[in-house]
Amino acid sequence: MPIQWFPGHMAKAKREVEEKLKLVDFVIELVDARAPLSSENPMLHQVLQSKDKMVVLMKRDLADPKMTESWLNYYKKHDIPAIAIDANDKSDIKRVINLAKELGQKKVAKLAAKGIKPRAHRAMIIGIPNVGKSTLINRLANKKAAKTGDRPGITKQQLWIKIGKDFELLDTPGILWPKFEDQTVGERLAAIGTIKDQVLSLQDIVVFVIRFMKKHYPALLEDRFGITQEMDDMYEVFELIGKRRGALESGGEVNFDKVSDLFLRDLRTGKLGRVTLEQPEG
């Protein structure tokens, strides 16, 4: 069954994006470096149409660096300017500004040709919930210009933010599309914390991640939890994690819900290792 999750404020946000798009020179779309295509919003592709766009792969410090390089090559092949960043790295923030300047110059040149005095570049920044949009804006503005948090859906309305003399950024609420026709897309987004944890079974998401990692990152699973390639019984796997990490109830029984919380927290914070959940060729 497709995962459906489309709060009412997201439908309103989509309409507002369509209305305000004519006010900006280009779009900065944020995706999660651990699942770049899954964290793009196909619904917005129709809205953006021919508007110039750059893609910022957020949370590169949590993603597999080799896979991040593969994703940057993927975007390059599709003629889409892209950059991978850690929002807490000042040099990465400068790289974002420099790439955005390159895109903004196109609009400045057109205005100059018409005899119009150059103005600050105007960009719309978009991304799905919890992708790190507010954190990036605050780093760009060098102040607390947007609310931040580790929960999806912090930003609830559009907001213009000045970035020095060079930019004006139009922040927008994170928007997910109405449903995920591909179940795997929903599982990836749930694993990295984009979908609220109350929406679906965390145990199912953990099983999805473990099976993926057994194929692509077996050493990380074994190092962190002692899970080997031969272990196919997920009940046995959960028991092992619970006993190894103390996710127990009174009486010594393993609490599978605690195991799920613990596993996903380790994945999302990078304690499990640098993991990318999808590959360009996939």
What pLDDT, in 10s, does the model give residues 233-268? 999 999 999 999 999 988 889 999 999 999 999 999
- So what's the pLDDT on residue 147? 47
- So what's the pLDDT on residue 171? 78
Q: How far apart are CA 73 and CA 46, in angstroms?
A: 24
In the chain, where the domains are located: 3-179, 201-269
CATH no. for 201-269: 1.10.1580.10
- So what's the pLDDT on residue 195? 79
- So what's the pLDDT on residue 243? 93
Phi then psi dihedrals of residue 87, to 5 deg: -60, -15
The domain over range 3-179 is classified in CATH as 3.40.50.300: yes
pLDDT in tens, 185-226: 889 999 999 877 666 789 999 999 999 999 999 999 999 999
Return the closest-CA partner of residue 169 out of 193, 143, 195: 143
66 in helix, strand or coil? Answer: helix
Pull the structure tokens for residue 124: 């719309």
The arithmetic mean of pLDDT across residues 166-185, rounded, is 75
The pTM for the full model equals 0.86
Pull the structure tokens for residue 244: 């190894």
Pull the structure tokens for residue 21: 């798009």
- So what's the pLDDT on residue 239? 95
64 pLDDT above the threshold of 90:
yes
* 126 CB-contact burial (10 Å; exposed 0-12 / middle 13-18 / buried 19+): buried
127 in helix, strand or coil? Answer: strand
Distances (CA, A) of 81 to 22, 53, 102, 138, 168: 21, 7, 10, 22, 20
Q: How far apart are CA 121 and CA 113, in angstroms?
A: 16
46 pLDDT above the threshold of 80:
no
The arithmetic mean of pLDDT across residues 2-23, rounded, is 67
- So what's the pLDDT on residue 150? 44
Q: How open is the CA angle 275-237-181, to the nearest 5 degrees?
A: 55
Return the closest-CA partner of residue 51 out of 104, 95, 120: 104
Question: Phi-psi bin for 142: left (phi > 0), alpha (psi -120 to 50), beta?
Answer: left
User: Hey, how many other C-beta atoms are within 10 angstroms of the C-beta on 33?
Assistant: 28
Q: Which residue has the higher pLDDT, 13 or 169?
A: 169
Residue 179: pLDDT band by 50, 70, 90 thresholds? low
Which range has the top average pLDDT, 9-13, 86-90, 147-151?
86-90
Query: What's the count of helices (H) and strands (E) in the chain, helices before strands?
Result: 10, 8
Across the chain, what does the average pLDDT equal?
84
Q: Which residue has the higher pLDDT, 165 or 184?
A: 184
Return the closest-CA partner of residue 176 out of 279, 68, 31: 31
Q: Of the ranges 16-20, 64-68, 215-219, 259-263, which one carries the lowest mean pLDDT score?
A: 16-20
The arithmetic mean of pLDDT across residues 148-173, rounded, is 64
- So what's the pLDDT on residue 146? 46
Q: How open is the CA angle 81-84-87, to the nearest 5 degrees?
A: 125
Check: CB of residue 68 under 8 Å from CB of residue 61.
no
pLDDT in tens, 113-148: 888 777 778 898 888 888 998 899 889 888 655 444
The arithmetic mean of pLDDT across residues 70-98, rounded, is 95
Q: Of the ranges 74-88, 151-165, 243-257, 267-281, which one carries the lowest mean pLDDT score?
A: 151-165
